[in-house]
Amino acid sequence: MQKTLCIIKPDAVKKNVQGSIIQMILDNGFKISAMKLIQLSEEQAKKFYEVHKERPFYGELVNFMISGPVIPIALEKDNAVADWRKLIGATDPAEADAGTIRKLFANSKSENAVHGSDSEENGIIETNFFFKPEEFVK
Ligand code: GDP
């Protein structure tokens, strides 16, 4: 099965919609193989979003991601990467399809409720960023 990383971002945790998001994950056939509630350090957030370091919003993105607790979740499913991105919807909730997580719960293009890996390779790299091998259940 393919792996992908979900992060329930600080805006969604602050709004107390993490339960609804986890229910949508389960209702859509994803297996949760690892999950935790953590406060990211600035160093961790910078490292996780390193690919965006030349983008004008990098500083804002890092500050947002450390503004409160987040919930990284390793998801598994056939076609997990594409199916998770479909369920979360477009980066900007204004452009996201009806019924997607971002349409339902995101505040804006920056405070957009959840993260999703963008490739199979990044699904593995990103789940391993948050979880040690022994933290994944079979
Ligand atoms: P994603 O793959 O849909 O998450 O989108 P991207 O990889 O393009 O961007 C990564 C994250 O950066 C997004 O999920 C947003 O949280 C944030 N982001 C994207 N565009 C902007 C922007 O224009 N301004 C700010 N502040 N944040 C943004």
CA distance 84 to 136: 19
Answer whether 61 contacts ligand 1 (Cβ < 6 A). yes
* Type of residue at 32: I
Instruction: Tell me the CB-side half-sphere exposure of residue 35, using CA atoms within 13 A.
Output: 14
The per-residue pLDDT for 26 is: 98
Q: Whose CA is nearest to atom 11 of ligand 1?
A: 110
Of residues 130, 135, 136, the one with CA closest to residue 40:
130
> Is-catalytic flag, 52?
no
The per-residue pLDDT for 8 is: 99
Number of other CB atoms surrounding residue 23 within 10 Å? 10
The per-residue pLDDT for 51 is: 95
The per-residue pLDDT for 82 is: 98
Q: Low-confidence residues of the chain, pLDDT below 70?
A: none
DSSP count for the chain of H helices, then E strands: 7, 4
CA 122 to chain centre: 12
Of 65, 115, 127, 131, which is the active-site residue? 115
The per-residue pLDDT for 97 is: 98
Please check whether the domain covering 2-135 is classified as CATH 3.30.70.141.
Answer: yes
Answer whether 51 contacts ligand 1 (Cβ < 6 A). no
DSSP state of 38: B
The per-residue pLDDT for 99 is: 97
The per-residue pLDDT for 119 is: 98
Instruction: Write out pLDDT tens, residues 78-117.
Output: 999 999 999 999 999 999 999 999 999 999 999 999 999 9
